[in-house]
Amino acid sequence: MSETTGHIVPVRIYLAIFAALMLLTALTVSVAFYDLGALNTIVALAIAVTKASLVILFFMHVKYSSRLTWVVIGSGFVFVAILIGFTVADLLSRGWLGTPGG
C-alpha cells in the first residue's frame, strides 16, 4: 500500500488564520452593541460565514484536498440551501391568522 503525504502548511499560515478568526470574533462582539436594524442578522451571518469558510478551508485542509472533497462539501451546502429555501417558502405561503378573540 502506498503512503501519501498530505500538504504541509506553514505555521505562519495557521497563525494568520487564527489572528483573522480572533479579529472577526472581536468584530462580531463589537457589532452586537450597535443597532443596525434589519442589517443585524445579515452582518452577523456574513461574519459567521467568513469564519466558517476559513475554518473549513485551512483547519480542515479542504483547500489542498482533492476535487471529490470539494464536491462533497459543495453538495452539503446545496442541501442546506434547499432546506432553507423550502422552510422560507413554507413560511411565506401560510395565511397568518389573527389572534383569537382579538
What torsion do the CA atoms of 43, 47, 49, 52 make, to the nearest 10 degrees?
Answer: -160
pLDDT digits (tens, 9 = 90+) for 40-91: 989 999 999 999 999 999 988 888 889 999 999 999 999 999 999 999 998 8
Which pairs with CB-CB distance under 8 Å and at least 24 residues apart come from 14-20?
Answer: 14/58, 14/59, 17/54, 17/58, 17/59, 20/54
Q: What residue has cell string 488564520?
A: 17
Helix (H) or strand (E) holding 76: helix 67-93
Domain that holds residue 75: 66-96
Asked if 87 and 45 sit in the same domain, the reply is no
> Does residue 20 register a pLDDT over 80?
yes
Residue 1 in domain: no
Quickly count: other Cβ atoms within 10 Å of residue 58's Cβ. Answer: 19
Confidence (pTM)? 0.73
> Is residue 73 located within the same domain as residue 61?
no
Q: What is the number of domains present in the chain?
A: 2
